[in-house]
Chain A
Amino acid sequence: MDAPGRPADPADLQAARRRLVVDGLGIVVSAAGFGFVFGLAARTAGHYSVIEAMAMSLIAFGGAAQFAVVGYVASGVAWPAIVVLTGLLNARHILYSAALAPWFRGRRFGERAAAAHLLTDESFALSIAHFRRVGRFDPFGYWYPALVTTLIPWNLATFAGVTIGDAILEPQRLGIDVIFPAAMIGLAVGLVTGRRELAAAISGAVVAVGVSLAVSPTVGIIAGGIVGPGIGLLVPPSGVPADLPPLEDMHP
């Protein structure tokens, strides 16, 4: 690992990009599988048209929130309630956005505004791991995960699911339901570089499950994301150097 804030040399940058591309293949599979099931659920459970399903995937681009809304729509939940629940479910992006902000320092406003719409669990995890490896912002490190591994396969798969999904009667038999948690835990592993991160991950998971059972999964995930890092900070840092760049040295 490079010293904090020291940009990787060209060979290291190429190696880091190759790793990003390979890791991204797993996310392509995840986004495609998850998007396909969303399209299928939207059609069968929510009775969405193709236009409605694609509007959700392109405009809302909300992953788990889109799934939840299929259930809300099918249950006849009022739109204001759906909107509030969606905002709550996606509130974890506040944490992602704040965590990425130091790396985007100095980038154009338009670029940051566009990047915000494409900020997902997957693009966050892949890009921040890449930035840490190379020690600075790398445009490829954000736009490749955001567009190529997430947005495009998610939308193509949504289209496939909502148009031809009926042909697949039991997606669970194909293991599609385990793709998302497997991708999330794999991405988490990629971000664990020391004791603190490990403690944050474990405590985040434990708190999330506990609160999910007591309140709701939506609240549980947010609680895990807030409490987990706090517990992680209580753990002494391991020998691995902190890898956030110093504030004055984050750009090429």
Chain B
Amino acid sequence: MSTDLVPLAFLMFLVTYPSRAVGLLSPGTERLPRRALDYLQLVGPAVLAALAAVSIMVATVGGRPVFTVGLPWLSVAASLALVAWRRNLFIGIAAAVAIAIVGRAAGLA
């Protein structure tokens, strides 16, 4: 069984771990000015929304990013609405998956 890519996994760890650790292990990070802490408080919503939006709106075709519209928009919009309404992430994800399954069974992209 091949292990050729195991060193690559270690290299990926070596470039990823510092990003994850820099704030948690650097002394003084928690003593940032209030404005900086306010900024950091907004990072979560911004990054997570960015990840979701890019996942459903941007596809790579022939090595180039292109804008895309499809069934995942409906799935994710339904998930967003349900989580906002019911405050239950599981229900939102289940609904998104159900819409995708039904939509594709019906022949939607």
Q: Give me the interface of A with B, judged by CB distance under 8 Å.
A: 22-23, 25-27, 29-30, 33, 48-52, 55-56, 58-62, 64-66, 69, 73, 79, 82-84, 86-87, 90-102, 104-105, 109, 112-113, 115-117, 119, 121, 124-125, 128, 172-192, 196-198, 200-209, 212-213, 215-217, 220-221, 224-225, 227-230, 232-233, 242-244, 247, 250
Contact = CB atoms under 8 A, between A and B. Distances in A.
A29 B93 contact: yes
A220 B20 contact: no
Interface in B45-66: 45-58, 60, 65-66
Interface string B4-36: 111011111111110111111110011110010
9 contacts: A23-B88, A26-B90, A48-B2, A52-B2, A86-B11, A96-B20, A112-B24, A212-B65, A217-B58
A121 B52 CA distance: 11
Contacts of B87: 190
Interface of B: 1-6, 8-17, 19-26, 29-32, 35, 37-58, 60, 65-67, 71-72, 75-76, 79-80, 83-84, 87-94, 96-101, 104-105
A57 to B, nearest CB: 9
A182 B44 contact: no
B105 to A, nearest CB: 8
Interface SS, A side: helix
Nearest to B3: A51
A62 B40 CA distance: 22
Contacts of A96: 20, 23, 43-44, 47
A116 B9 contact: no
B94 A29 contact: yes
A90 B11 CA distance: 13
B56 A216 contact: no
Closest 7 CB pairs of A and B: A228-B46, A204-B46, A97-B23, A224-B50, A175-B100, A26-B89, A208-B50
